[in-house]
Amino acid sequence: MLVAFSVAPLGAGESVTAAVADAVRIVRESGLPNRTDAMFTTIEGEWDEVMDVVKRATEAVGRHGHRVSLVLKADIRPGRSGELTGKVERVEAALAEG
């Protein structure tokens, strides 16, 4: 499965950089395939392992404030792997074909 999520503390001021860095550190240390962009971090893996990482990242962000906002989107496709890059590669190939 792929899970794209965004997590941030609420009421922690304008900058959430330190909190987001704590969350991304947990994702990267998990060893699961992942990608972070300006809005979301996407993780690929099995349901339990991905959700465990999201939970730990959310808890880390929670240490920066009294309330946490979590936005999560999942693509659950059993039997598939490599979709973190595969989905993008298929779109790029379609664009190259014209």
Give the predicted TM-score (pTM) of the model: 0.90
Is the distance from CB of 24 to CB of 41 less than 8 angstroms?
yes
Q: Considering its fold, how many domains does the chain have in total? A: 1
Taking 50 as the pLDDT cut, the residues of the chain under it are none
The distance of Cα 10 from the centroid of its chain, to the nearest Å, equals 18
Question: For 14-38, what is each residue's pLDDT tens digit?
Answer: 789 999 999 999 999 999 999 999 9
Whole-number pLDDT of residue 12: 63
Structural domain that includes position 40: 2-97
Q: What is the CATH number of the domain that holds 41?
A: 3.30.70.930
